[in-house]
Amino acid sequence: MTIARFHCPFAGLGGCQDGSGNGLTKTSLISHLRDRHFNGDALATTKLSLATNLVVYEAPEVTLKRMGLWLCGGYFKTHTLRSKCRHGSDVVSPPDCGDGVVRSIGRVKYG
């Protein structure tokens, strides 16, 4: 049985070493993103990079699609493509490009 490994789309950002360059399993990558890139001071760096750098934006878009996930740009939490994100009483669906294609990253605002 082959174990699928995914590379951190933020490798190099804030000193991330992408599991020492070997990549991470899906569960490990989700934990890594939550703990390393979507938390504390690193979150501001991640948000700014996603909002201002197309290369940084495209890498997680590809990785998350391969994993069958989308990232809520409001709370920076990952969800399966069938799941919605709850923002209090509001419910946010995975972003739709308008042509039936679902994006893997929701609106990212800095600030």
pLDDT digits (tens, 9 = 90+) for 53-95: 888 888 988 899 899 898 888 888 898 888 888 877 888 888 7
Strand, helix or coil for residue 3: coil
Q: What percent of the chain has pLDDT over 90?
A: 26
Alpha-carbon distance of 56 to 5, in angstroms, equals 20
Average pLDDT, the chain: 84
Write down the pLDDT at residue 17.
83
> What are the b/e assignments for 5-26, b being 16+ CB within 10 Å?
ebbbbbeebeebebbeeebbee
- 49: tokens are 């990079």
Alpha-carbon distance of 84 to 65, in angstroms, equals 16
Considering only residues 100 and 41, tell me which one the structure prediction assigns the higher pLDDT.
41
